[in-house]
Structure 1
C-alpha cells in the first residue's frame, strides 16, 4: 500500500479537522424580552409581549435552545434584563470552558427612544448594550431589536440598510463575532399590525424561521436567510402605510466565514408539509382568532415545510380572481401534508382575514389592587351629628384599566369605618354605642393622562350600610341600608412601574324615609396606594 506524501496527509488531516469543527454543535442561550410599556412619555404598544412570546416559543421549539438556557421577560425592568443576561453569560462561559461552541441570542420587542431601550420606566443605553454583547463570553452573539429607531445601533462600520451580502455557509472557518439586526432604521418607527397580531418585522422574521425563509430547501433557516426574508417582506408590507416604508438594518462584525443555522426543520415529525404537487403561490395560515400566524411562498415543483405549532389553521391561497380556502390540523408528533383537494374556491368576501375588524391600538388591559384611607361625612350638620356620624374609613379597591375602552377604568371598592359615640337626647346624654359604616361600590371613570399624572372623573353606585350597636344589651341594635348613586373625581400619579398614588373625592345622594322623607347627601375624601399587576 502506498503512503500518501506528507503534504497530502496534512491536507487530508486539515480537511478532516475542518469538517469536525463545522459539525460541532452549538450550545444556544437566548434572552427574549417584550415590553408593551415604555414610560410615561410613550404610547403603550399592543403586541410587543406577544411578539416576545412567539419568538421564545420558536427558539425553544425549532431553534435548539434547551429549557434552562433561555429567559423570557415580559414587562420587566432594565435591571431584570441585565440580571437575566448575566445568568446566561455565566452559563455560556461555563459551556465554553467545557469546550462547547456557544451562541447567545438576545431579542427585544418594545420601545426605544433617545438612544435607549425603554423597559417600563427604566432605560437601557443601546451603546452600553452593544459593548456588553461585544464582550459576552460566547462565540457568536446575535442581537435582534424590534423597536422604533433601533437602527441607531447599526450606524457604525459594517452597517447596511439592505441585505446586500451573503456568507458562505460551506466555508471551513466558523463565524465568530457580533451580529445586530434591527426592525427599522435610525429615523423610522417600527410598525404593528392588528391583522398580524404583532409587528411587521417580528411577524415576518418568525414566519421565515418557521420555514418561509428556507429558499435553499435544505430544511434549515440560517441567520441571514431569516433576515433577508424579514427585510424584503417588512419593506413590502409597510410601503403603503401612513408611516411610510420601514427598513430593517443589520450590522455585523464577524471573524471567519460560515452562517449560523437558527432553526432546523429536518427530521421533525411535526409541522405542515406543502408537497411538490401543490400549486405555486403565496399561502397564508390563519389562527382561529383571525390572525395570520405564518406565510409561505411556494415555487413550482418544490416541496416546502413549515414548522407550525400543533393546532388547527385556516389555509388561504390567494388567486387573481378568487381564494382557495380550507383547514389544516397540525397534530403533535405528526407531519400534516396539505391536501389541495380539501381546499375550496371562495370569493374575496370570504377572506378569513378580511372579516376581522381592526382593533384600536388601545392600551393593554391590566389590574390594580389598592389600600385606601379616607373620611366620610354628610353635608347636613344635624344629620352628621346625630344620625349618620362622620367616620374615618379604611378599605380595599380593585381597578380594571382599559377594559371597555382606552383610558377608562372600572373600579370595585370596599370600605369600613367605625367610632364610639353617645346618643344625645334632648335633656340628657343617652346611652353609648358603636357606630359602624360599610360601603361597597363600583365606579366607571374616564382618565386624561398627562405624563405620569392622570386626572379622572366618573360615576359611582354604592351600597351604604350603617349601624348602631348599643353597649346596653337591653337596647336593640339599629341598621340602615340603601343604594346611593354618586360622582367621583381625582388624580392618579404613576410613581413607578408598579406603584400608583391616587387622591380622590366622592359625592353621593340618598333618600332617607324612615321617620320622614328627606334628601341627604354625603361626601368622601380619600387617598390610596395601588399596585399594578
Structure 2
C-alpha cells in the first residue's frame, strides 16, 4: 500500500513538472489589452466648446474596463489636454509598451475632441492626426485600433498605409495582426453630440454595441465587425434628419490572420441585463439612482443581453401610446431578465406601426352629411371613402391620407339637382389610448359641383378649392375592423354671379374601417 501511494505521488509530481511550464507558457502567451483614452471639450479659439467629449472618454473607459478586458493598470486616461501633453503621453506610453507589451497584445487608442483639416484641436493647440496613425503603426503590439470621435476625422482613414473598407465588413481573423482606424465621421462631416444621449451619437452607439447590443450572433462576445456595423447603422439613423447633416462613420484596416477580432465580452461582465422580448423594439436603459441614460438601443429580433454595472435600472420600451416602463435590479455577479406579455405585445405593436416593410393602411367607408354651398340646399348627403396611412411623416404628423366623397341633393325653393364630387388630401397627429384612436388633420382639396334640372334645362359646372380642419375618433371593435366618427369645418371658395365668395363648410361622417 505504501509503495502504491509513493508511486501515485511520484506520478503526480512528474505530471506537475510537465504541466506547470505549459500553464506558464499559456499565461505568458495570452494576449493582453492596452488602452489610451483622450477626451477634450475645448478646441481652438472661436470654436464652440464641446459638452460631452470628456464624458464620452469616461464612458469608453468604463466599457473597455468592464467588458473589453482592459485592466485599469494598463489604461491611460487624459481628460483635458493640449497637444504637447498628449505628445508626452504618447511618448511615455510607447516606452512602456516597448518594455512590457508583446507582439500578441492589443492596443485601443480612443480620442474625442474637436478636429479639422487633418488635425486635432486641443485647448487652443493642434496635433496632426498623422502622429496618431504613426504611433499606432509603431506600437510593438499585434493589433492596434484607433477610434476618432471628432469632426471631419474621416481624413485619418485616408492616410497612407491602410486599405479602405466599405460599410459591410467581412472578416476572418484568429491570430490577427495589423491596424484598424475607425472615425466617427467622414472627411467633410460633423461628429455630432446629443443632449438626449448626453454624449456623441457615435460613441454612445459604439458603447451600447460593445455592451451587447451589437452581439447579433448571441455568443456573449462582440467582434469588430459586429461593433462597427451596429455603430454605423445607428449613427446614420440618428443623424438622418439632424441639423448637423448626415454622419457616416468611416473605416480603414490592414489586418492579417484568420479568426475574429473580439472587442468585448459582455458575458464576462459582473452584471448582465437581458431584454427577453422576441420582437424588435427601441429601448431606453436608465440608472434609477442618477437618472443617467445608460443605453438607447434598437434591439433586433430575439432577446438581447447587455453588460451593465450592478444596480437598479428603469427600462422603457417605445410603444404606440408612448413608453412602457419596468424597473429591475441587476445583482452583483449575476443577471436579471425583463420580458413578459405586455412588453412583447408593445414591441409587436410598435413593429406593426412601423410597418416592417411598410406603414399600416386603413380603408374607411360610410355615409356623410355636409352643409350646402348654395341657397335652397342647406345640407347634402353622400358617401365618403378614405384611405389612410399610419406612419410618421415628421414632427406632429403621424398619419396621412386621401378622401373621396360623392354627394347628391335637390333644391327646395327652386327645383334643381346637385351632384358633388370631392377629393381631399390630409395629414395630422394621432393619439392612441387602448382600443381608441384620436386624430386631427389639416385637409385641402377640390370640389366639383354639377347642377342640372334648372329652368330652361340649363346646366352648370364649377370646380372650387376647399380647406378644412378635421378631427375624429376611432374604436377598434375586432381584429382589423373599426368604427370611426369624424367631423370637419372649413370653407369653400365658391363662384357666384357677382364673383367668388368664401362659403363656410361643415361635415360629419360615420364610417367602418378595415385594416389592409
TM-score between the two structures when normalised by the length of structure 2: 0.58
After superposition, where does 1:151-300 map in structure 2 within 5 Å? 151-156=154-159, 158=162, 160=164, 162-169=166-173, 174-275=175-276, 279-288=279-288, 290-300=291-301
Q: Give the CA deviation at 1:246.
A: 0.2
- Displacement of 1:292: 3.2
Number of residue pairs aligned between Structure 1 and Structure 2: 323
Deviation of the 1:322 alpha carbon: 4.1
Counterpart check, 1:325 vs 2:325: yes
Whether the aligned pair in 1 keeps the contact of 2:149 and 2:185 (CA below 8 Å) is yes
**1:82 counterpart = 2:83:** no
Distance across 2 between alignment mates of 1:269 and 1:128: 37
How much does 1:339 deviate?
4.3
Q: Is 1:305 the counterpart of 2:305 in the alignment?
A: yes
Once the two structures are superposed, the pairs formed by residues 28-107 of structure 1 within 5 Å of their partners are 28-96=33-101, 101-107=104-110
Give the CA deviation at 1:166.
1.2
**Whole-angstrom distance in 2 between the partners of 1:156 and 1:93:** 25
Q: Does 1:150 align with 2:148?
A: no
Distance 1:152 1:223 in 2: 21
Q: Distance in 1 between matches of 2:257 and 2:170?
A: 13
Equivalent-residue separation in structure 1 for 2:264 and 2:135 (angstroms)? 25
Partners of 1:70 and 1:149 lie apart in 2 by 26
What is the alpha-carbon distance in structure 1 between the residues aligned to residue 223 and residue 346 of structure 2? 35
Kindly indicate which of the two structures has a greater share of residues assigned to helix. 2
C-alpha displacement of 1:293:
1.9
Post-superposition shift, 1:247? 0.6
1:119 and 1:75 mapped to 2: Cα distance?
Answer: 8
Cα distance change on mapping 1:324 and 1:278 into 2, 3 Å: farther
Closer, same or farther: CA 247–254 of 1 in aligned 2, 3 Å:
same
Q: Distance in 2 between matches of 1:160 and 1:246?
A: 18
Contact 1:212/1:296, CA 8 A, preserved across alignment: yes
Structure 2 match to 1:115:
118
CA distance in structure 2 between the aligned counterparts of 1:190 and 1:104, rounded to whole angstroms: 23
Instruction: Quote the offset at 1:64 in angstroms.
Output: 0.8
Structure 1 runs (4+) deviating above 3 angstroms are 156-162, 277-280, 287-292, 295-300, 339-348
TM-fit CA distance, 1:122: 2.2
**In 2, Cα distance between the equivalents of 1:79 and 1:90?**
17
How much has 1:27 moved relative to structure 2? 0.7
The structure whose residues are more often strand, as a share, is: 2
Q: How does 1:368-517 map to 2 (within 5 A)?
A: none
Structure 2 counterpart SS, 1:244: coil
Change in 2 beyond 3 A, CA 1:267/1:115: closer
CA distance in 1, matches of 2:97, 2:219: 29
Aligned to 1:376: none
In 1, Cα distance between equivalents of 2:208 and 2:34: 21
Structure 2 CA distance, aligned partners of 1:234 and 1:46? 18
Report the Cα distance in structure 2 between the residues aligned to 1:320 and 1:162, rounded to whole angstroms.
36
Whole-angstrom CA distance in 2 between matches of 1:216 and 1:82 = 39
TM-score (norm 1): 0.56
Give the 3-state SS of the residue equivalent to 2:99 in structure 1. helix
Asked whether the equivalents of residues 70 and 88 of structure 1 are also in contact (C-alpha less than 8 Å), the reply is no
Q: CA 1:303–1:204 in 2, change beyond 3 Å: closer, same or farther?
A: same
Give deviations 1:262-285, integer Å, cap 9, x for gaps. Answer: 11122444121233x655423221
Task: For residue 41 of structure 1, report the CA deviation from its aligned partner.
Answer: 2.7
Shift of 1:316: 1.1
The offset of 1:168, in angstroms, is 1.6
Moved more, 214-223 or 259-268: 259-268
User: 2:136: which partner in 1?
Assistant: 133
Question: Structure 1's 59 and 269: CA in aligned 2 closer, same or farther, altered over 3 A?
Answer: closer
CA contact (8 A) 2:67 2:307 kept: yes
Deviations 1:207-239 (A, max 9, x none): 000000111111001122111111110011001
Cα distance in 2 between the residues matched to 1:148 and 1:297 = 25
In structure 2, relative to structure 1, the CA distance for the partners of 1:324 and 1:175 (3 Å cut) is: same
Q: CA–CA distance in 1 between the matches of 2:342 and 2:168? A: 40
RMSD of Structure 2 on Structure 1 (CA)? 2.9
Distance 1:345 1:217, change over 3 A: closer
Instruction: Compute the displacement of 1:304 (Å).
Output: 2.1
